[in-house]
Amino acid sequence: MDAIEQVLAKARAELVIHEAGRVASVGPGVARVRGLPGVQSEELVSLHGRLLGLAYNLDPDEVGVVLLGASNELAAGSFAHRTGRILDVPVGGELVGRVVDALGNPLDELGPLRTRQRRPVERPSPPILHRAPVTRPLQTGLKVIDSLLPIGRGQRELILGDRQTGKTAIALDTILNQHGRDVVCVYCSIGQRSSAVAEFLAYLRRHDALSYSIVVVASGNEPPGVQYIAPYAATTIAEYFMEQGRDVLIVYDDLTRHARAYRELSLLMRRPPGREAYPGDIFYVHSRLLERATQLRPERGGGSLTALPIAETQSQNISAYIPTNLISITDGQIVLSPQQFRKGILPAVDVGRSISRVGGKAQLPCYRAVAGELRLSYAQFEELEVFARFGTRLDEASIATLERGRRVREVFNQLQYQPMPVAEQVAVLLAASEGQLNAVPVKQVSKAEQMIRSRVTSELPAICQRMESGEPLSDEDRAELLRVIEEVLTAFEEAAS
C-alpha cells in the first residue's frame, strides 16, 4: 500500500484540450461541422456512432467532412470530435490472401487482421533519385501483349476500352500468370457491382491466385468518400511490399468511376466545377496516385510497383477528358476494340492504337528476335483488310499479306484463364513470323498451335529454359525451333489430308 500511495502522491492531473463541434447539416456522403477550430486538412473526425469522416473543406465558419461510412444515424446537432490523426490503413504480410475494404477492415470472414504497422493513405511518391530504369519484364501470359505491347516491372500501362470489351479479363489473366513468380498482386475494385466483385474473387480462388493477392473493395453502394480513398489505400498496402524489395502488381478497376466519385464529392462540397463538371484538380488526383508506381534502385531495396489502371470509354472516344488525362500520365495504353470483341477476337486489343512506351526496353531478348517486325506487318494487314472490303482487286503480294495476317491474328487469339509460358509463346510467334503457318487453314491454326507448344516443351527443354531466363535466342536455337515446328506442321498436314 505504501508504494501505491507514493505513486498517487507524485501523480498530477494534466489538463487536456479536447476540441468538439456539432454537425450543422448532413448530405449524401458529406457533412458540415461547426466548431473544431484547430482541425487540419485530411484529419480524421469522429462523428456520432463511431462514424469517421475526413476533414476536406476548411472554411472560416465550418468544416466540410467527407463521410467514410453509412450516415443513417447522423443528424444535425450530433457531436463531432477531432482525432488528431490522419487516415491510415494496416499494412504487412498478414494482408496477403485477404479481402479488405478501403479502411483496412476485413470483408472475407477469416477473422481480424493482426498487423503491426499502419501507414498513411496519402504518401508522397518516391523522388526521382530513388528510381531506376524499367529493365525487367512483367509477363502477362497473353501473346499479343507480351510480344507487341510488353510491360516492364515498374511501368504504368493503361487498359482502355468501352464497356464489356474484356478490360478486367486482361488484368485477371495477368494476375493468374504471376503464379510462382514471387509477385504480390493487389486488385482494387472501385464502384463495381458486388456480384462482379464476388465473381472476380471466385476466379481468383479457383485458380489459386488469392494466395498471393490482396483485394481492396469499395463497391458501388459505398459512399463516394470510400470510393475516393480506395486506390490510395491499395497503393499504400502495395508500397509496403515494394519497400521490402519485392515486385508488386496493382490493378485499379477502374479510375473512371474513381473520377466520378471525386466529382460527386467536389460538387457536394460546392467546389467550382470545370470541364465536364470535374473539379480543376482531377488531373492531380490521378497523377499523384500513379506516380507512386516505380522501380526502386538497388540501394533502396530494388522493389517495383507495376500499375495497370483501367479506364472506361464511351463509343471508343479515347480523347475524352479522363482518358486523355490518364494517357498523358501513364507509360502507354492498351486499347480494346468492341468490333474485335464482337467478332470473337480475344483479347480484343487494337494493335494500331495501343502502345507501350517503356516495355520494349524490358522485353525478353527472345521476343525481340521473333516479333521485331510482327507489329508493323500486323498493323499493315489490318489496314489492308479494311481496304479489301471495298472489293478492290488486289495483287498477289497483297493477297499473301492478307492470308498471313489472318493466321497471325488467329495466333494472337487466346482463351481467358489460359496464360501461356514464354517459351511456348516464342515458338508459336516464330512459326507465324516465318510464314510456316501459311499452308494451315485459318480454322486449324489453333490445333497446329497446340501441337507446336507441346512438342517444343517436350523436345527442347534446355532452349525453353534459356528463353525463360532471359538469354537471347541464338542462331542454333532458332534453327532447332524451326526444325521442330516444320516437323510438327508436316505431320499435321499429313494427318489432315
Residue type, position 355, single letter: I
Q: What are phi and psi of 220, to 5 degrees?
A: -65, -20
CA distance 212 to 259: 29
User: Cell digits for 231?
Assistant: 486506390
Q: Are 75 and 31 spatial neighbours (Cβ–Cβ below 8 Å)?
A: no
CA distance 107 to 415: 31
Please say if 357 is a catalytic residue. Answer: yes
E-only strand ranges, 129-279: 158-161, 183-190, 213-218, 247-253
E-only strand ranges, 134-178: 158-161
CA distance 77 to 24: 6
CA distance 464 to 442: 27
Closest CA to 32 of 73, 1, 62: 62
Cis peptide before 254 (omega within 30 of 0): yes
Q: Could you tell me which residues come within 8 angstroms of residue 146 by beta carbon, excluding any fewer than 6 positions away?
A: 137, 139, 140, 363, 367, 422, 425
Q: Which of 357, 406, 455, 478 is catalytic?
A: 357
Q: Could you tell me which residues come within 8 angstroms of residue 414 by beta carbon, excluding any fewer than 6 positions away?
A: 142, 143, 144, 346, 347, 420
In Å, how far are 86, 107, 217, 218 from 100, measured between CA atoms?
19, 5, 6, 9
Full strand arrangement of the beta sheet holding 332-335: 99-101, 213-218, 183-190, 247-253, 304-312, 158-161, 332-335, 355-356
Residues annotated as part of the active site? 357
